[in-house]
Amino acid sequence: VTHPDLTRLSREEVERELRDSSAEIESRTGSPAMHFCYPYGRWSPAVRAVVCRHYRAACTTSARTITATADRFALPRVDVHYVRQPARFRSLFSRRFAVYLGTRRLIRRLRGAPEGS
């Protein structure tokens, strides 16, 4: 509802954020909200446990491509700004793109950003 960093909230506050945001989405779209994106990509095992009860899957902001063994409640994602250029989009599942994403993660780490941001 308010897009907070859920890792800084109590369990009750996380429950309220998820319940109320889901209800708002459903009231506006007429469809159930089945998937979740952690605000700022930040999550913890405790937050994940609450999300599991409300949704079918959830995304982080970890700059990776998905694998068959990925945790469906901590799915990585590739932000669209990484693939705006047609050539980069065409290379999405190539070794070259994996190297590109690895470089982006390294830059994030060097800047002190947490993995999920």
DSSP string, 29-57: HSS---EEE-GGG---HHHHHHHHHH-SE
Measured CA to CA, the distance from residue 105 to residue 117 in angstroms comes to 10
Measured CA to CA, the distance from residue 8 to residue 47 in angstroms comes to 10
Closest CA to 107 of 43, 66, 77, 63: 63
Q: Output the pTM of the full model.
A: 0.75
CA distances from 81 to 2, 49, 71, 77, 92 (A): 24, 30, 24, 12, 12
pLDDT at 117: 45
**Positions of the chain with pLDDT lower than 70, given as ranges:** 114-117
pLDDT at 115: 60
Torsion of CA 82, 86, 90, 94, to 10 degrees: -40
- Whether the CB-CB separation of 22 and 58 falls below 8 Å is answered with no
pLDDT tens digit string along 50-74?
999 999 999 998 888 788 899 999 9
Measured CA to CA, the distance from residue 61 to residue 113 in angstroms comes to 11
